[in-house]
Amino acid sequence: MISFWIASSDIRKNVFIPKYYDPRIERKIKELSTTHLIRDIGSMEEAGLLSASTGHEIGKEAYGTGSIPFVRTSDISNWEVKTVPKQGVSQEIYKAYADKQDVREGDVLFVRDGTYLIGTNCFVTGIEKEMLFQSHILKFRINDESALSPEILFLALNSPFVQAQVRSFQFTADIIDTIGRRYREIRLPIIKEERIAKSLAAQVKAALEVRVRGKAFVKQAPVLIERCLSIGSIKPITDFDNLSDEEIREALVSDTVTMEFGEFEATFVSSSGVKNRIFLPKYYDPEIDKELKALSTTCDILSIQELVDQGLLEIETGHEVGKLAYGTGDIPFLRTSDFANWEVKHDPKHCVSDKIYEEYSSKQSLKPLDILLVRDGTYLVGSSTIIQPGDEKSLFCGGLYRIRSLAPDRVDPYLLLGVLNSYIVKRQFRSRQFTRDVIDTLGRRLFEVRVPWPKDETFREELSARIRSVVEQRNKARDLIKQLAADYAPR
């Protein structure tokens, strides 16, 4: 949209922002009206079909008081809450807000404030445990599922047609963008043909179930993988897979990022034991050495530097393309916040042109099964993902390490992903991160991290196969949901 005319009589609520009147949206409504019923959220609220409410701001003093997730806008990715949200609260604080927020299965959490994240949403599933959510998030609930299923609401909200409306309605309030009360003006396309609606709802439900079971594995992976490594068997994973949804829900750990730092507070180190003039107590956490020693009966303990020196791994960082490159094209520029739960976001924040991609692709490259690991970013340090076919045409920023196995038969990428996400390795990331200027980083200390590599070949293959299955199934379901939303109501 470059420019268009609008009569003064068509100005609504003294809004003089051109994008608010995007004529393409009106044309699309006429086009969709033959197959869809178009209803605005406000009228659906008034009719009692749908309800909307916001979360609460609990105050920073509540952060880190417990392990119950306090879901913020950045904690929503690929239609689900991150397995390890940034902040957690205590049972006491949770109980103070739980009844007011009343989060249930089938609710949709929708980002209202936050510029790039506005319109991002997630579907609350039965496997989720307790949570609270902040005031920048709206909770939508269908009150009459015989009239409209939650899955169709979810599909409509993620359709290009609705997302285009979200962008046209958002405005700047103080220092942050928001859609404010304009969410009520969003017109939802509700498919008229009941048979088609039921089929689409069933497909969405099935895809979400695949992703939810896989997410449960990813969330529990630090515990499960460490147990497997300690006994040299995938039995802990097999036992977990055999649990019912309710049993999995009860078994899941309620971790937040702050839990990764462990409970270490102090230790004694002689002056001769000080390394590289590092005086951070957490750097010398004695529990890490104890755990690695215990794992040495079933695993070879190798530093990442040793794996590089043996020609098994190649590690490099990305580049900063500059803010002027943002939005120039459709090729993802992956940043530290553009992946979660072991996968790349389906809607990365910034994209670049083919010209910029060609300029930098000769300096950096991505291939399927490369691992991206966050080097810089405080809470995100140590987070990782594995590139899947179709995601490799991307650039990545300087705050990421790209880790490539040069000998997949000896260092399987999926197994490496799992080991990097074990507690013993994640704790080493946390013990080695430090503040540089205004941001935390791993710097070159990544190469000091020691990984427990299983000695038994059969065990390695079984563990790798299980991790691969989860990643591939979740990725396939992600792409299906994205396609269903794109086809449901194109822009």
Contacts 24+ apart (CB under 8 A), 257-263: 257/84, 257/85, 257/86, 257/87, 257/379, 258/63, 258/64, 258/87, 258/88, 259/67, 259/84, 259/88, 260/84, 260/382, 260/423, 260/426, 260/427, 260/429, 260/430, 261/427, 261/430, 262/287, 262/427, 262/430
Name the residue with higher pLDDT: 176 or 118: 118
Q: Judge if 153 and 263 occupy the same domain.
A: no
Distance CA 295, CA 39 (A): 59
Which pair of tokens denotes residue 385?
């993902």
Domain of residue 173, CATH code: 3.90.220.20
Which letter, b or e, does each residue of 399-436 get, where b requires 16 or more Cβ atoms within 10 Å of its Cβ?
bbbbbbbeeeeebbbbbbbbbbbbbbbbbbbbbbbeee
Q: Judge if 189 and 275 occupy the same domain.
A: no
φ/ψ of residue 129, rounded to 5: -95, -165
245: in domain? no
Residues spanned by the domain of 160: 8-201
Per-residue pLDDT tens digits for 121-155: 999 998 887 899 999 999 999 999 999 999 999 99
Which pair of tokens denotes residue 293?
């020693």
Sequence letter at residue 79: W
Q: How many domains does the chain have?
A: 2
Distance CA 257, CA 48 (A): 38
228: in domain? no
Q: Judge if 30 and 170 occupy the same domain.
A: yes
Query: Cβ distance 470 to 220 under 8 Å?
Result: no
Task: Using the predicted structure, report yes or no on whether residue 1 has a pLDDT greater than 60.
Answer: no
Q: Identify which of 43, 190, 204 has the alpha carbon closest to the alpha carbon of residue 123.
A: 204
Cα 251 to the center of its chain, rounded Å: 21
How much is the average pLDDT of 375-401?
Answer: 94
For residue 266, what pLDDT is reported? 63
Q: Judge if 262 and 179 occupy the same domain.
A: no
Q: Judge if 192 and 260 occupy the same domain.
A: no
Which pair of tokens denotes residue 311?
């020609």
Q: Judge if 298 and 434 occupy the same domain.
A: yes
Per-residue pLDDT tens digits for 412-440: 999 999 999 999 999 999 999 998 878 89
Task: Using the predicted structure, report yes or no on whether residue 321 has a pLDDT greater than 90.
Answer: yes
Q: Judge if 197 and 293 occupy the same domain.
A: no
pLDDT band at 263 (very low <50, low <70, confident <90, very high): low
223: in domain? no
pLDDT band at 116 (very low <50, low <70, confident <90, very high): confident
Q: Judge if 59 and 139 occupy the same domain.
A: yes
Tell me which H or E stretch contains 373: strand 371-374
> Tokens 């515990």, residue?
223
Query: Cβ distance 302 to 425 under 8 Å?
Result: no
> Could you say which of 166, 201, 236 is where a domain stops?
201
Task: Using the predicted structure, report yes or no on whether residue 326 has a pLDDT greater than 90.
Answer: yes
Q: Which of 109-113, 260-264, 354-358 has the lowest mean pLDDT?
A: 260-264
Say what the pTM is.
Answer: 0.91
293: in domain? yes
102: in domain? yes
Q: Judge if 303 and 435 occupy the same domain.
A: yes
211: in domain? no
> Could you say which of 161, 176, 201 is where a domain stops?
201
How much is the average pLDDT of 382-388?
Answer: 96
Q: Judge if 427 and 279 occupy the same domain.
A: yes
Q: Judge if 264 and 403 occupy the same domain.
A: yes
341: in domain? yes
DSSP letter assigned to residue 208: H
470: in domain? no
Q: Judge if 12 and 153 occupy the same domain.
A: yes
For the chain, the average pLDDT equals: 92
